Amino acid sequence: MIPQNHFLILGAVLFAMGLYGALTRRTAIGILMSIELILNAANINLITFNKFIGSEALGQVFALFVMAIAAASAVIGLVLVIAVYRNMKTIFTEKMNILKW
Amino acid sequence: MVRSAHLIPLFPFAAFAVNILFGRRLRKASALVSIGASFISLAIAAITFIGNARYGEGSYMVGRWLSFGGISLDFGVTVDPLSCMMLMVVTVVGTLIQIYSIGYMRDDVRFSRFFAYMSLFMGSMLGLLLSDNFVMLYIFWEGVGLCSYLLISFWFERPAAAKAGMKAFITTRIGDTGLLIGILLLFFTTKTLYFRDLGNLGINDAMLTAIALLIFCGAVGKSAQFPLHVWLPDAMEGPTPVSALIHAATMVAAGVYLVARTYGLFLSHHASLIWVAYIGAITAFMAATIATVNNDIKRILAYSTISQLGLMMLALGVGGYDGGTFHLMTHAFFKALLFLCAGSVIHAVHTQDIFKMGGLLGKMKATGWTFIIGALAIAGVPPLSGFWSKDEILSEILREGHPVLFGVAAVTSLLTAFYMFRLIFVVLFGKPRSELHAHESPAVMTVPLGILAAFSIFAGFFRPVKIEPLMMGVSIAVSAAGIGIAYVFYIAGNKVLPASFRSRFAFLYDLISNKYYVDEIYEAIIIRPAVRLAGIAAAFDSKVVDGAVNLTAYLSVIAGKVQYWFDLYIVDGIVNMTANITWLCSAVFRRLQTGFVQNYILIAFFGLAIMILIKLTGGQ
């Protein structure tokens, strides 16, 4: 049986990759994809702890919730990206600074 | 009673308004406006006069004026023999003087203004005569005073005229103040201001005397009685028709009229009345003596007026109401005549010094003969008007039992005859004393002279003649003596006698020719201290009061500067400092908002990481 640590390491690696992507990607879509990675890392952790500690399927239910919210937030994010692109002809986040002081 | 008397003063006032407003456009026509108004007044005065004779006297109310505290004051009009007589005198004399002025003032630049003032003068005097209460009388009284000021200083380019006007105004003001106090005293003690109530006021003697004497003060000022007589001779600086009007009909008559009008007040208490008599006697004698040595044709007449007014006051003072008022009327005619004659002479020879004139009768027939008629009238030669009135005064004084006052009056009459015929002999007879190209004045001036001469002759018959042989003998003797002495001095013993008299009585001559030093005494005891006091007050004002004001101003400026500095550096400084600090802070912190989304995420992540680290390493 695969020990719990492997799962946690996978989640941490996924989280690190997501964070790295979110911090370094120039396009808004890349950042959105990285955030999805972070959410997946959180899901793996939820399921892992449910499997090894919990008795009921509470963690899995939460993971389902997170996936639903991730889908919704991805929609919102993509819509925003499209709206920004229409106005500014770019999706590079460093160009999106019109709200700066 | 004819109820039209209140219209009499309105026409001269209207003429004044027209002339003062449209004088520039009317030019010479303004004379016609004034004279026309005077004629209408004369006509109404005549109607009033006849109505008074036929239907009896009375006073009536024209309109309610004031009503306060249960006391009301009306615009009332008095119609009685006294006011009717004076109305006739003022309108007749005033009209004639205005006609005469057309000739006299012909070339004056302020022709229409002159007539405006003349009308105002007449209107004020007529209003004064008709007043039935003290307040109305006082208003018109001041109006008369104002007009005398305006007219005496009519030629205000000449400093002497301007000064004379001021002197007249201020001197009469002293009397007027007394009058005002008297009126107020009367009002506060008796709550009445009507002349008709004066007979029985029901107040104690001391108060009555005080009120009577204060009111007499006003009369003393206006009628130029001693000691306030000094303004009248100086008033000769005004144009001669003005002098005639002041002396005959308006200004000085007002004082005598006031005493006659308030006679009930004086009669009810004898002590005040005798004051009137003595003041009158002193004035009459003093002014008559001054007139004997003066050399200025108008000033001689001015002193003559003062003297005659003194005689009227004397008559009123001893209880001779009829004699006093009668003389007031006759005097108005012959004094107006004399002044207008003098004006005609001055107009012809352009000098006022009688010893530069002489022999004018040949060149100025009309003026000369009317002048002589006037002189005869004032000297009291029968049957001219002056004789009758003066005779009545003398007999009344004696009848009331005042031998000393009778003596004074008789001597004054003698002096009157003397100085008038001195004037006549020097001016009209003898040889011309200097190169004068005298010529007769135009008809517009001589015709009024003729009419006034007729009045001077016949005015004595306006009331029933009383024949008292003894008294008439005395009167005639006194007049004849005066004229005789003048003849001896100035025709028979010409040049020699006056000079020898002068040297023999040098002290007396100096005293009299310096007008008893009254002006000098006033100068020393009143004017100079007043000027000095004014100087001190002015110094106090400029040093202390102004100094205090300036100091306050200076301190205010300094305080203002301090406040400005405080405002600029402290108040504004705090505000600016707040702003600057805010700006500095924001300059640092706004750098946090970079506009890069990843920056924010990075910071948020590190923040989370730090919080977790703190949690793990032992912070609770």
CB pairs A-B closer than 8 Å: 27
| Mean local confidence (pLDDT), B366-384 | 82
Q: How confident is the model at residue B239 (pLDDT cuts 50, 70, 90)?
A: confident
User: Is B588 within 8 Å of chain A by CB?
Assistant: no
- Kindly report the nearest CA distance between residue B599 and chain A, in angstroms: 8
- Determine whether the interchain pair B596/A97 forms a contact, defined as Cβ–Cβ distance below 8 Å: yes
Residue B619 has pLDDT above 70, yes or no: no
* Residue A99 domain-assigned (yes or no): no
Which of B598, B599, B602 is the best mutation test for A, with the most CBs of A within 10 A? B598
Whether A100 is covered by a domain: the verdict is: no
**pLDDT value at position A13?**
95
- Give domain status of residue A71, yes or no: yes
Q: What is the mean pLDDT of residues B485-508?
A: 70
Identify which of B240, B224, B300 has the alpha carbon closest to the alpha carbon of residue B512. B300
pLDDT-derived band at B433 (thresholds 50, 70, 90) equals low
In terms of pTM, does the model score above 0.80?
no
More confident residue, B252 or B570: B570
Report pLDDT for A41: 94
Query: Does B592 touch chain A if contact means CB atoms closer than 8 Å?
Result: no
pLDDT value at position B582?
Answer: 93
Counting the structural domains of chain A, the total is 1
Per-residue pLDDT averaged across B445-465, rounded? 79
B50 C-beta neighbours (distance < 10 Å), count? 12
Residue of A nearest to B587 (CA): A101
Tell me, what's the pLDDT at A101?
A: 62
Residue B616 C-beta-side C-alpha neighbours within 13 Å: 6
The residue behind tokens 């001015």 is: B302
pLDDT value at B68 more than 80: no
What CATH code is carried by the domain that includes residue A54?
A: 1.10.287.3510
> What pLDDT does B575 receive?
93
Beta bridge partners of A27: A92
Q: Using an 8 Å CB-CB cutoff, list chain B residues near A22.
A: 598, 601
DSSP A100: -
Give B529's pLDDT tier (boundaries 50, 70, 90).
confident
Tokens of B20: 């003062």
Is a pLDDT exceeding 70 seen at residue B599?
yes
Q: Which residue has the higher pLDDT, A49 or B425?
A: A49
Nearest CA in chain B to A22: B598
Give the up-direction half-sphere exposure of residue A85: CA atoms within 13 A in the CB hemisphere: 11
Residue B301, pLDDT score: 85
Nearby residues of B153 by Cβ (< 8 Å), 6 or more positions away: B161, B162, B163, B164, B165, B166, B237, B238
Residues B317, B320, B325, B329, Cα dihedral to 10°: -110
Q: Is residue B598 less than 8 Å (CB to CB) from chain A?
A: yes
Closest C-alpha among B268, B258, B260, B262 to residue B202: B268
Is B594 touching A (CB cutoff 8 A)? yes
Does A37 have pLDDT greater than 90?
yes
Range B316-329 average pLDDT? 82
Residue A78 maps to a domain: yes
The answer to whether the CB of A18 falls within 8 A of the CB of A41 is yes
DSSP for B354-386 reads GGG---TTTT-HHHHHHHHHHHHHHHT-TTSHH
Are B595 and A97 inside 8 Å of each other by CB?
yes
Degrees to nearest 5, angle at CA B607 with B605 and B612? 95
Is the CB of residue B313 less than 8 Å from the CB of residue B223? yes
Q: What is the pLDDT of residue B192?
A: 77
Give the integer Cα–Cα distance in Å for B180 and B608: 104
Q: Does A19 touch chain B (CB under 8 A)?
A: yes
- Phi then psi for residue B131, to 5 deg, are -55, 140
Name, in order, each residue with C-beta under 8 angstroms of B166's C-beta and a sequence gap of 6 or more.
B149, B153
The pLDDT value recorded for residue B496 is 63
Of B590, B595, B598, which is closest to A23 when you measure between CB atoms? B598
Does the pLDDT of residue B1 top 60, yes or no? no
**Would A36 be classed as within a structural domain?**
yes
Average pLDDT over residues B392-402: 80
Probe site for chain A from B586, B591, B592, B601 (most A CB atoms < 10 A) = B601
B609 close contact with A: CB closer than 8 A: no
Among A88-92, B144-148, B474-478, the minimum mean pLDDT is found in: B474-478
Does the residue A97 lie in any domain? no
Give contacts of B605 with chain A, Cβ < 8 Å.
Answer: 19, 23
Q: What ipTM score was computed for the predicted complex, to two decimals?
A: 0.80
Tell me the C-alpha distance between B219 and B242, whole Å. 20
How far is B344 from B352, CA to CA, in rounded Å? 11
Output B5 or B284, whichever has higher pLDDT. B284
Inside any domain, residue A64? yes
Q: What integer pLDDT is reported at residue B576 of this predicted model?
A: 93
A19–B605 CB contact, under 8 Å: yes
In angstroms, the separation between the Cα of residue B591 and the nearest Cα of chain A is 9
Query: In Å, how far from its chain's centre is CA B80?
Result: 25
Cα separation, B350 vs B71, whole angstroms: 56
* pLDDT tens sequence across B333-374: 888 888 888 888 887 777 777 777 777 777 777 788 888 888
Express each pLDDT in B469-496 by its tens digit.
777 787 788 778 888 877 777 777 666 6
The confidence band for B148, taking pLDDT boundaries of 50, 70 and 90, is confident
How far apart (Å, rounded) are the C-alpha atoms in residues B542 and B193?
Answer: 44
**Nearest residue, CB atoms, A94 vs list B593, B596, B605:** B596
CB-CB neighbors (< 8 A) of A93 in chain B: 596-598
The interface residues of chain A toward chain B in range 32-91, judged by CB-CB distance below 8 A, are none
Q: Is A24 on the interface with B (CB under 8 A)?
A: yes
Dihedral (CA of B524, B227, B269, B411) sign = positive
Say how far apart CA A78 and CA A86 lie, in whole Å.
12
d(CA B6, CA B152): 28
pLDDT band at B499 (very low <50, low <70, confident <90, very high): low
* Among B114, B113, B123, residue whose Cα is nearest residue B37: B123
CA distance A96 to chain B (A): 7
**pLDDT band at B184, cuts 50/70/90?**
confident
Q: How confident is the model at residue B498 (pLDDT cuts 50, 70, 90)?
A: low
Cis peptide before B227 (omega within 30 of 0): yes
Mean pLDDT of chain B: 82
Q: What is the pLDDT of residue B497?
A: 64
Does any domain span residue A84?
yes
Look at A12-16, B408-412, B424-428, B586-590 and tell me which has the smallest mean pLDDT. B424-428
Candidate ranges B57-66, B449-458, B563-572, B590-599; pick with highest mean pLDDT: B563-572
Please give the residue of chain B at the shortest CA–CA distance from A97: B595
Please say if the pLDDT value at position B18 is more than 80: yes
**B617 touches A: beta carbon within 8 Å:** no
DSSP H/E element including B77:
strand B71-79
Average pLDDT in the B314-320 region?
A: 83
Which residue range forms the structural domain that includes residue A28? 4-92
The pLDDT, as a whole number, for residue B620 is: 55
Mean pLDDT of A16-33: 90
Residue B465 has pLDDT above 70, yes or no: no
Q: With pLDDT > 70 as the criterion, what percentage of chain B qualifies?
A: 94
pLDDT score, position B436: 61
Question: For residue B276, is pLDDT > 80?
Answer: yes
pLDDT score of A14 more than 60: yes
